[in-house]
């Protein structure tokens, strides 16, 4: 699923585990954009961040393996 633009603070659900992740940082490396995700639960501070490459298309941007959870919010 794609959104117009990935932004800090958005919540994305992992398609395999069903856990929610918060976008904490976006950055560019050469020709690619990456998002850093942190689990959005009480144990978030003890878990490592996950680096996910942003997929861009004509429809917008997406995180492969994740589904945007705030459809009506943006």
Enter the pTM of the model. Answer: 0.85
Write the DSSP symbol of residue 9.
Answer: T
What digits encode the pLDDT tens for the residues 45-74?
A: 677 889 999 999 998 999 999 999 986 554
Measured between alpha carbons, how far apart are the two ends of the chain, in Å? 14
Mean pLDDT, all residues of the chain: 89
Longest dimension (CA), the chain: 37
**Contact between 3 and 54 (Cβ < 8 Å):** no
pLDDT digits (tens, 9 = 90+) for 6-59: 999 999 999 999 999 999 999 999 899 999 999 988 766 677 889 999 999 998
Q: What is the DSSP letter of 44?
A: G
């Amino acid at each position: 699923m794609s959104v117009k633009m990935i932004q800090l603070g958005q919540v994305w659900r992992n398609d395999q585990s069903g856990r929610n992740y918060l976008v904490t940082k976006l950055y560019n490396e050469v020709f690619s954009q990456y998002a850093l995700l942190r689990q959005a639960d009480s144990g978030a501070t003890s878990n490592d961040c996950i680096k996910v490459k942003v997929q861009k298309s004509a429809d917008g941007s997406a995180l492969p393996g994740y589904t945007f959870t705030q459809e009506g919010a943006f």
